[in-house]
Amino acid sequence: MTAALSIRQLTKTYANGLQALKGIDLEVAEGDFFALLGPNGAGKSTTIGIITSLVNKTSGQVAIFGHDLDRELTAAKSQLGLVPQEFNFNVFEPVVEIVANQGGYYGIERKLAYERAEQYLKQLGLWEKRHSPARNLSGGMKRRLMIARALVHRPRLLILDEPTAGVDIEIRHSMWEFLKTINRQGTTIILTTHYLEEAENLCRNIAIIDEGRVIENTGMKQLLHQLQMETFVLDLARPLASLPDIPGHVLRRVDDTTLEADISRGTSVNRLFADLTARDIQVLSMRNKTNRLEKLFMYLVDNDRQAGVRP
């Protein structure tokens, strides 16, 4: 099967001499939900800019469903939908026209383009706003407008550059559901985000880039497996005066009624509960502390940077 996206030795040096990409290799399979992660300035948007031909590459190859950007640009472009990081619509234009016109640019007849615009604006909860000029939308609505616009020509590969930045929790969850649905229906999705729980929740495969290089490229499960330790937060029924010393467990007292426990991978949680019960410590509830991916991410980026200057 041809990959949805294949990138070989991609480099980019901007006109001011800044080397934003230093040789990126990436492969995204058809049907995948792929996370492209990395700290600010890592080169995510630059990579996406090149894929969507908004930025000129310096060297390397990019192919979309086997269509090389240098040789079959038109074929490559028609498979792609882009939700960019920055708002890039005419703020004076009404919402429905922004979406329908985008269809027009892809050669979709006006009538069909308006039908599709209606479909996606309804699915994304923007239909009531269809006649408003885009500047009257809230930040979260503008993000959803860009998703509707990116879908109007039914792309096989959808690239979203921080689509949930500034979106409230409720809408974010509905956006997740929406993206999961279109992914299940066959659209390959590449997503960048700084909310790592989002990547963990949605994506099956992941690449982390830092300073213009891919420093990790693997399956989400495999990556999370690298974690040796998981931290759980325990809410207690009664206040604890002091930290209980239980051999074989690493515990920390957060406050009177909260404990944190580090549990190594492979260890059963039952033992911890048994030990706690034996000491008459009752646990009301337990949850996973922070995001696991977040920890790994910090670790990988730090490690990479400490590895020093590489050729």
- Residues of this chain that interact with other proteins (CB under 8 A) are 14-15, 49, 52-56, 73-75, 77-78, 80, 82, 84, 86-93, 97-98, 101-102, 104-110, 149
Q: Measured from the CB of residue 66, what is the shortest distance to ligand ATP in angstroms?
A: 25
Q: Measured from the CB of residue 267, what is the shortest distance to ligand ATP in angstroms?
A: 36
85 binding ligand ATP? (CB under 6 A): yes
85 binding Mg ion? (CB under 5 A): yes
Q: Is residue 87 within 8 Å of residue 146, measured between CB atoms? A: yes
Binding mask 18-37 for ligand ATP (x = CB under 6 A): x-x-----------------
Angstrom distance (rounded) from CA 232 to CA 286: 7
Q: Measured from the CB of residue 168, what is the shortest distance to ligand ATP in angstroms?
A: 20
Q: Measured from the CB of residue 281, what is the shortest distance to Mg ion in angstroms?
A: 47
Q: Measured from the CB of residue 265, what is the shortest distance to Mg ion in angstroms?
A: 33
The option from ligand ATP, Mg ion, other proteins, none interacting with 18 (CB < 5 to 8 A, set by class) reads ligand ATP
41 binding ligand ATP? (CB under 6 A): yes
Size of the site for Mg ion (CB under 5 A): 3
164 binding ligand ATP? (CB under 6 A): no
Three-state SS string across the chain, please? CCCCEEEEEEEEECCCCCEEEEEEEEEECCCCEEEEECCCCCCHHHHHHHHCCCCCCCEEEEEECCEECCCCHHHHHHCEEEECCCCCCCCCCEHHHHHHHHHHHCCCCHHHHHHHHHHHHHHCCCHHHCCCEHHHCCHHHHHHHHHHHHHCCCCCEEEEECCCCCCCHHHHHHHHHHHHHHHHCCCEEEEECCCHHHHHHHCCEEEEEECCEEEEEEEHHHHHHCCCEEEEEEEECCCCCCCCCCCCCEEEEEECCEEEEEEECCCCHHHHHHHHHHCCCCEEEEEECCCHHHHHHHHHHHHHHHCCCCC
Q: Nearer Cβ to ligand ATP, position 18 or 91?
A: 18
Instruction: Select the residue interacting with Mg ion from 21, 24, 37, 45 (CB under 5 A).
Output: 45
43 binding ligand ATP? (CB under 6 A): yes
Instruction: Select the residue interacting with ligand ATP from 4, 6, 38, 108 (CB under 6 A).
Output: 38
Query: Which residues between 1 and 20 bind ligand ATP (CB under 6 A)?
Result: 14, 16, 18, 20
Residues in contact with ligand ATP by the rule CB under 6 A? 14, 16, 18, 20, 38, 40-46, 85
